Structure formats: structure tokens, C-alpha cells
Structure 1
Amino acid sequence: MKKTVIAGFSALMMGLGAITFAGPGNAAPEPSHIAGQIMVKFRVDAAAVGVLRRHGLSDGPWIGSTGARLIKVPAGKELQLIDALSRNPNVEYAEPDHVVTVATDQPNVDYFPRQYALHNTGQEFTSTLGVNVAGGTPDADVDAVEAWVKTTGAGIRVAVLDTGVTSSHDDISSQVVERVNYSDAATGEDKYGHGTHVAGIIAAIKDTVGVSGVCPDCDILDGKVLNDQGSGSTSSIAKGIGWAVDYEAKVINMSLGQRVSSRTLEIAVNNAWKAGAVIVAAAGNAGTQAKIYPGAYPNVIAVAATDNKNVKASFSTYGKWVDVAAPGVSVYSTFPNGSFVLGTQNNRSHGYDIASGTSMASPIVAGVAALVWSTSAGTGNASVRDKVESSADENIYGTGMYWANGLVNACDAVGCVRP
């Protein structure tokens, strides 16, 4: 569906300093940081103990591969100690450990759509209550079915840094090859629902009952960085990124973001890029051009959301800093079979349902990047990213204005032969 140029972020709501999931329709949370801890990086590691002792503090654990440490401090004294430590020449930086929270996605959960994002025939969506939803524009999709003729991404590892991936769903659980829990939840199970939905978009098993992921033979690295209430911290995200690199992720998906940049988070992203991973993140659901992170970092592919007519979703963050677009409205995927928070909040059917947000668009792009890794273009992360972006369909309104490169196209990205 690559044509000529037309000129011209379940859900990611950003509160100042907070990471939230990409799903529209919710009020942004208040600015916040984790009480009782801060992140500090020293210019000289040997000076750390002495500097901290002068402020009545003890040394803390490393935050992934960032070189920063997580330091316990008296609750309520975080900003005061950050200011004091920042004045010390032995301290490179000190910053809050921002709160990571979840926003629920658009309340259209009655709809049971087909997977137009992968293959759009203009099909209608029908709700469980019998309400007909107008069909979309044929071929307003990412041409995944055509791409599968060439590759289904066998063995490519994609890290999903999220609320976890359920261990009991026939369509996605067997795709998980490694798990870790960096949240404060008691277990690594996905009791929120968001991570399972994202993982299914990437790698649900093809040719079984249910859905198919964009990269159906990919392996999933399940990095639980948010707890069962959908809350966590910047440091947990940074740890997850480092873990993904250690377990050889070719692609890292983060359907989350924060409005304030963090040096620790950016270091983690840059380290992952240097290690050879492609990093993909949701652009956000503020409906504005305001940058969010990690999506806005140079070494991340930021993804906006479109609907089944190739129109920018009204909630999607946009701007020339956003790299590509992908379907993010009423995207059908896996959910936990048992009870989970999003299901309770929205009266969802268990097992499968739709969700909307740049949280859903980002894993589509992550899946396409994984497919490219399995082709001759998969010689390195720079070449994979270039292929994903340069092959994007420019023939959608908003290219160059809402996003830089157009709608991601799996077929063109992998160089498939069209019928």
C-alpha cells in the first residue's frame, strides 16, 4: 500500500513526572515521585559512600546498567536531598524516582472487532450488544498478512516492559521465553491486563483459535516493571531495559511514557541502543505535540495511533518528533483469562478484547521491527530502524506534520513480493 506522498499514544496519559500507559480518555495523574528513594549517579564511584554519609545516607543498589544508584532517603526529604547532592562536584546528577502509573483505555470495550490492523477489508465491527460499527477503508492496515509470506520472525526476541504477560493463555503464554519481576507485586503474573494485550499484538500464535501477532513466531521477554495496580517507577523501567539487553532482546517495546525527561532513563535507552536493540515506545495520548519520554529520545522509535481509515486518532500525540504511525484504535488482542483490573473496570470479556491507545500502536511497530530483524536487512539495529521508517506508507494525511515517516508497512519493510 506504499504510494505517493500526500503533503500536507491500556492508553498513555502523561502527568508531569509520571509514566502512564497509552490509552486515551483519562485525566492525567498529579505530578509525583516515589517517596523514600532517589536516583544518584556519581562521577567517581569511590566517592559515593563518603558523599552519602555526609548526608546521613547509605549506599544503594545499581539501577541496571545506567551507572546510577537507588538511594533510600527519609520520606519527604527527596527534593531537599536531591538539591544538596547536586551541589557536590562528585555527583554527576541526582533526580527523583518518578511514579509510573496506569491509565485505562478508551471505554469501547463492548466491541469485538476483527484484526483490521493486520488485514483491513473494510470489515464492520460488531459489539457484543449487537451495535454495528462502521467499517473502515480497505487496506488501511500494516500489510502483515502479505509480510508473512516472507517471514514470521522465528526466534527473534522482543522484550515487553509492562504489567507482565499472563502465564495461562493459549495464544501468548507459550511465546514467553524469559520472565522477570521488577515491580513490587508479589508475583510476575499480569493481574492488570495491559501487558498481556500488548504482548498478544506482537506475538500471539498464528493459525490457532483467537488472534495473530504481527510477528507470530517471535519470542517474548516478559519484563514486569509495573505492579498489579499498574504503578511503578522510572528506576524499574531502567532495570527492565538493562535486563532485556542481558537477555538479548532485538526489540524492546515500552507502551508507557513520562512528560519529564530522566537522565537515568535516557542512559538506559542509550545503553540498549549501543548494545544493538531497537527501542519502540508509544508517543502518548494527550492529543497535543508535547514530547513524552522515552518516546522522544533520539534512539527510540516514537509511535502515533491511527484508526481503521488511516486517520490520526483524535487522542494521539503528534508532531515532527514522532517517527511513525500505526493502528491504535480498537485493536483486538489477548487479555488474561482470569480476573484482571482492566476487566473489572470495564466489564470486559476474558481472553480477548479490544483496547485503544498508542499503547496498542507501539507493539505493532515493535512486531514489524522484529520481522525485519529476521530478513537480510537485519544486520544491526540502525539498519532495522531505517528499514521500518523508510518503508512506511507516506500516503496518509499527516505525514511530515503528525509524524515524520508515515504508516508502518510490514510487507514493504521485509521486502515481500506483492501478489
Structure 2
Amino acid sequence: MGFSGIAAAVPSNAVPSNAASESSHIAGQIMVKFRDNRAAAGVLRQHGLKEGAGIGSTGAQLIKVPAGKELNLVEALNRNPAVEYAEPDEIATADTDDTFFPRQYALQNDGQSFTNTLNTLTVTAGDNDADVDAVEAWSTTRGRDIRVAIVDSGVANDHEDISQKVVARMNFSGTATGEDKYGHGTHVAGIVAAVAGNGKGVAGVCPECTILDAKVLNDNGSGSSSTIAQGIDWAVANGAQVINMSLGMRVSSRTLETAVNNAWNRGVVLVAAAGNAGTPAQIYPGAYPNVIAVAATDNKDDKASFSSYGAKWVDIAAPGVNVYSTFPNHPFVLGTQNGRAMGYDVASGTSMASPIVAATAALVWSSQADQDKATVRAKVEASAERKAGTETYWANGRVNACKAVAKPLDAGKCP
């Protein structure tokens, strides 16, 4: 299963779904949580199954099952009182739209053509001040040493603007290497923390943040509930203060929500893309209460045509059309599919909006001592700029980094 936009390929043991009648889960495995693990072996033996590996901190196990029997076994196990729940391992995909334009505007603009003095990129704005005022926020903080986890398709090892920012890597995707051969994770990571002031390429919204690279999507941009849960748990264990998930699925997972809640309870702010379906249908993990769900806006500060929406579950918006960022310096799938250049190029989607909000949360973390996850989230959401006509699309406004990090008496200094 996946969002509208790029029709991501899926692993050989998975079945993609674009229709309700098709399977939306990984074939050959399910997730089971027992009320008492001492009963697990006996219960599974009744169905010809064996115990499996634990899924992070969730308490669930990943159980191998015959392909095609996933739903039947889930139903049967859920009837057993020793089982807290059994569920399919749902397919998740990277949340990128195919729209492709030659301009970048998200960090700073004033409705006029603007040259970013921190690098060589010239950006052209729309008719509105539709940016997040990141450059102005940097006078308060640049996010030094705040760890942001990119739970995605990996971050390239060969990029001068982002690779050096990665402080730890882990591959949960089942691919042979942790290298980003899809391209999505590298683009997302650059939006968060690309080096500023080095005379090359782009600057991230949080240019002094560091990156934790949790590869949970394979080389075709597809993963599962269980890999995302494992990535979240690893990120928490490695000191993440913010976790970005520019991915999702249409079906909720108790295992994934448990991983999300565990991370939140351990003090982490979680951010996720709202999806590119262009409808109010909920997308997960974005729709979970302990995640900031992010819709996409364009360079006129309007809702992007592709963006999912709904003020009952989408929390905030950020620029997501034509966002310029890093891509791998080696061949990658998004380049072969869409003609994007190696090194740097633009992409569109709520995948691009989500890391702008995640980076803003990281800036807030670093702006003042003795903050907690609830305070950081509240500042990010309460400082967002509201535009008339968007009230039904998201609960707050479009994110503003300058206002999010400003002290109350200084908020008026932001554009």
C-alpha cells in the first residue's frame, strides 16, 4: 500500500495495494503480542508456528507464517485469550509527490527574488511571504548537537553537504547495505540539517543539528510497520530528541503506535508526513495523537493540491512543493524515475514538509534549557502562522521557525 504520488515498488515478499480489495501487508509474516510470553510457544505451536524476534520495545514478536495465510492466522490468534493482539505487518512507503519545479523558497522569502548568502542557490518566491523564516531563527539558535532521527530510506554516505552530519546509522530494511539507493532519505535529511555556510548547495532548517540514520525503507522506498517500529526504538536508544517519519500507511498498527507512544513517553518529539492522497483520510503514523502530522503548502502559502488534510488529525503545515535539497551523488531510484539530478534537486510532497517541522522542533529544543517534549511541541504548533481559508485543513497554521524559537518579547521581531 502507498500514498498517491510515486508508486513505490515493494519487496519481493510483499504485495502492493492501490485498491481496497488488494493486500496491504507484508507476505509471510505477522506481528503478535502475548499477554504472557510464557504462553507464546504453546499457542504458536497449535498453528504450526514458532516464536519470532521481538520488535523493538513494543513487546510484540515478528512471526513467520505461510504466505497467503496472514489474515487467517491473525483472525485465529486474536480469538485466543492468551493473545493481546495479532495483526498484519502493514506496508509503508515514502511519501513523495512527482511534481517537479525549478525553484526553491522554503527557508526565507519576502515575495521577491532573494539570494541566500549562505550558499550559491538563488531562490524565487511566490506572491506571499510563504516561507518558515528559518534564517531569522538562526539569530537565536542553529540547533547545535540536537539529534534528529531520519526514519527513512537511508542517508547517503557520499554527500559533502549532509553525510558528515550523520553520527550513527542502522539498517532495518533487509537490504544488503544501509546506503540510500532510493534517494528519499538523503533529500529529507538535507532539509533538516544540510551544512550552512560552506559555499555549497543548500542549508538545512537546523544547520547545526546532527542526524541519526535509521534505514527502514528498502531500495525501492517500501518498508513495514515492524521496521518503522524498530527504527523508532533504535533512534530513542541513540539519543534522538526529534524523530522524522516522511512515510506512512493507510492502516493503523498497534505495534507501531506502541513504538510511537514509548518514544513520546521517553521524551522524544515525533513528526510525520500527512500523506499525498489529497483527501481527509487519515495516514499513519501521522494520525497518532503523539505524532505531529504535517500537511504541505505551496509558494503562495496555500494547501498543496496533493496534500492530505483535515483539522481533526493534521496538526500543522509546512512548505512541501518544490523543496530544494540534497540527493545522493550516486545513481538512485528517484533519479531514474523522475529525471532528478545527482547531488541536489527539488522534490515535492508532505515528505518534504515533515522534516521542516522536525527541524523547527529541533531548533526549539536548543533554544532554551529545561524544556520537555510537550513544551517543544506546543511552541512549534502555537507559533504557526494561520492563513484565512486553511482552517479546515490543519489544526494550527503553517510552521514559523523564527516565532517558534523566539522569547515572548521578541516574537514581534520575526517577519
Flag whether TM exceeds 0.5 (same fold): yes
What is the CA deviation profile of residues 191-250 of structure 1, one whole-angstrom value per residue up to 9, with x for unaligned ones?
A: 000000000000000112110000000010000001111122110001001001101100
Once the two structures are superposed, residues 40-62 of structure 1 have per-residue CA deviations (whole angstroms, 9 ceiling, x without a partner) of: 00011111111111111111110
Aligned to 2:189: 199
Matched residue, 2:119: none
Paired residues of 1:104 and 1:342 also in contact (CA < 8 A): no
Q: Distance in 1 between matches of 2:39 and 2:88?
A: 21
User: What corresponds to 2:111 in structure 1?
Assistant: 122
One-letter amino acid of the counterpart of residue 403, structure 1: W
Distance 1:397 1:353 in 2: 31
> What residue in structure 2 maps to residue 246 of structure 1?
237
For residues 351-390 of structure 1, the aligned pairs below 5 Å read 351-376=343-368, 379-390=371-382
**2:9 and 2:218 mapped to 1: Cα distance?**
13
SS at structure 1 position matched to 2:42: helix
1:112 is displaced (CA, Å) by 3.1
Partner residue in 1 for 2:316: 324
Question: In structure 2, what is the Cα distance between the partners aligned to 1:102 and 1:323?
Answer: 20
1:33 and 2:25 are equivalent in the alignment: yes
Q: Would the alpha carbon gap of residues 365 and 238 (structure 1) be closer, same or farther in structure 2, given more than 3 Å must change?
A: same
1:166 to 131, 156, 163: 156
Distance 1:322 1:223 in 2: 24
- Counterpart in the other structure of 1:231: 222
1:399–1:405 Cα contact (<8 Å) kept: no
- Cα distance in 2 for partners of 1:226, 1:278 equals 21
**Which secondary structure state, in structure 2, belongs to the residue aligned with residue 362 of structure 1?**
helix
Amino acid aligned to 1:236:
T
The separation in 1 between residues aligned to 2:343 and 2:277, in whole angstroms, is: 29
Q: Is the 8 A contact 1:19 1:99 kept in 2?
A: no
RMSD: 2.2
The answer for the alignment partner of 1:184 in structure 2 is 174
1:218 is matched with: 209
CA drift at 1:169: 0.4
Same amino acid, percent of matched pairs: 67
Question: What's the CA shift string for 1:249-271, capped at 9, x where partnerless?
Answer: 00000011111111001101000
Residue 150 (structure 1) aligns with: 140
1: distance between equivalents of 2:29 and 2:182?
25
Task: Find the aligned partners of 1:255 and 1:63 in 2 and give their Cα distance.
Answer: 21
TM-score (norm 2): 0.90
Residue from 27, 48, 61 that aligns with 1:69: 61
Alignment of 1:228-307 (within 5 A): 228-307=219-298
Q: Are the aligned partners of 2:126 and 2:300 in contact in 1 as well (CA < 8 Å)?
A: yes
Residue aligning to 1:129? none
Residue 339 of structure 1: CA displacement?
A: 0.4
Q: Which blocks of at least 5 consecutive residues in structure 1 are unaligned? A: 1-10, 21-26, 126-132
Q: 1:343 is matched with which residue: 335, 345, 351?
A: 335
For the residues of structure 1 that align with 2:355 and 2:390, how far apart are their CA atoms?
A: 20
Q: 1:20-55 CA distances to partner (integer Å, 9 max, x unpaired)? A: 9xxxxxx94754211111000001111111111111
Other-structure match for 1:141:
131
CA shift, 1:98, in A, is 1.2
Amino acid in the other structure paired with 2:226: S
Partners in 1 of 2:92 and 2:405 — Cα distance? 35
Number of aligned positions between the proteins? 390
| CA displacement, residues 269-300 of structure 1 (integer Å, 9 cap, x when unaligned) | 00000010000001111111111111110000
Q: Secondary structure at the match of 2:243?
A: strand
* CA shift in 2, pair 1:19/1:142, >3 Å: farther
Contact 1:201 1:213 in 2 (8 A): yes
**Partner letter of residue 38 of structure 1?**
I
Query: Which residue identity is paired with 2:143?
Result: G
Gaps of 5+ in 2: 11-16, 115-122
Q: Which has the higher contact order (CA 8 A, sep 6+)?
A: 1
TM-score by structure 1 length?
Answer: 0.89
